[in-house]
Structure 1
């Protein structure tokens, strides 16, 4: 079963067909039957007409007023609003891992630029096109493969990103934050081990209070990371699972994203 975001994530949602463009200065072509994006997931097949790298296609999942996914190697998330064919995507928060391949890094930069230029959406067969104010196709999307979501309970989850408002960071280099859920509890390890009760209902989650050991972390950065992770986890109110990605959301646009091990 596919759970959906209850609040903002952290956390962190690309193409089929060729791009088309309108005349200079033209407005996006209105579409009375523009596809509704809420509750849908896509892969980006083209960025401004250029095919994306098959093994590193960006992804986009639209749910509860937010769009997120993988920009190519980093996770991102942003608010979105759709009214008919008009689509507004807010400033995206994104983790800051260095992409291993220059071509992937270049693609991620192109995706981020195109995402900021989107002003409308229109159908394109089984896919959709996200277009700019001039009617040029910024992003071409194809439906994401219907892969089973990992279960919350019993899956080993590893931290992939921390989002606070418009700021997103990757885990501190050389560190790992892991956790697993049972039906009634969560346990894991940042630099200290932690555990606490959990209540899950539909797409909502209540965690804590959490208890942890008190060992000193290896360095200050790891200690700050642990403090941030446990605070957001303890305040979590919503969660979603898309494939092998778990997103936990808390008030004040704070999000944790985890990947199934």
Structure 2
């Protein structure tokens, strides 16, 4: 009986030792089962990283073709969504293209662009950018999560340099009014009133700015996607016709309950009447 008890004790110790070794082998960071190591699985021990490119507004900084580097026009950018679609602006014209991601490989398919006439230097950049942003590219992402750089390199060694730009916050941003909305129809500002109107929201529930002619201030309460404006106090000077026309239109938007939305650095505000405005934020400082 004593011998049997001794054998049972040895068996139990052997099982415990096996379980302990198995547990050590599955600790976080010790192997592929943890999900954190990123081992390529090819037996080489090489760690593969998946560059985070989707859901980011990438400003195009420059384009290098044949060893010659060219700065990008203002507004050139690329966005890649999780559904395999790339959209953006080549510097003058907007574009869309199908795209697939596989590790650090980006494959850009055929796309479409708008057909606006552009300045000669911008058109030259667009042509070169369109050729570079096509086919299989190698991606390299670096930097912090809120300030990243992306380099896309072609098989020929040409490259596109891009940098991330964060969305503009509602409060603290100087929003420049760029257009008016009536129902589903968007219109430009009255000729002669461009660049006159702007508004800035404070974190304390205030709003101030210019309506096109007169400066104003008041209350603006944020709740989810709703902006509720209190009565606005403004100066009372008279201005040329287009500026007063814009001011009257904005007064019809910035009153009572409205809804708002921010798409990167574009702001839209719509009143319950269907009247609304579009505004843009200045580019983020580098």
TM-score scaled by length of structure 1: 0.49
**Going by fraction, where is helix more abundant, 1 or 2?**
2
With a CA cutoff of 8 Å and minimum separation of 6, indicate the structure with the bigger relative contact order.
1
- Structure showing greater radius of gyration is 2
TM-score scaled by length of structure 2: 0.45
